[in-house]
Amino acid sequence: HPSALEAVLLRFPEVVEYRVEVDQTGPMAVLRIDVEALPASSDVAERVGRAIRDALLFRAEVNVVPPGSLPRHEMKARRVTRKTMTPAQQTPAS
């Protein structure tokens, strides 16, 4: 749920903006979160990842990206993208 994830991210005042990608191209879905953080926050990726794991009981790949590299959105739905397999990548079940 994007709103539950946003609630965790908003606990960190040093996180300026974020983008979430749900990658479903492999056998298991992977959640990747890019965060723009204030320059003085060196361990923010580790702390955000731990907070997500503790609050939501799943792991996410959290990466810090350069300031100004993420688009600004007012709505959380635009911050979340999905990456799925194309029909050609899918194999029929045996």
Tell me the per-residue pLDDT of 22-78, one tens digit each, with 9 for 90 and over: 998 888 889 999 999 988 778 999 999 999 999 999 999 999 999 889 888 665 557
Closest CA to 38 of 61, 65, 74, 62: 65
DSSP string, 48-93: HHHHHHHHHSS--EEEEE-TT-SPP-SSGGGGEEEEE--TTT----
Listed residue (36, 28, 25) closest to 82, CA to CA: 25
Percent of the chain as helix, strand, coil, to the nearest 5: 25, 30, 45
pLDDT digits (tens, 9 = 90+) for 64-93: 999 889 888 665 557 777 777 755 555 555
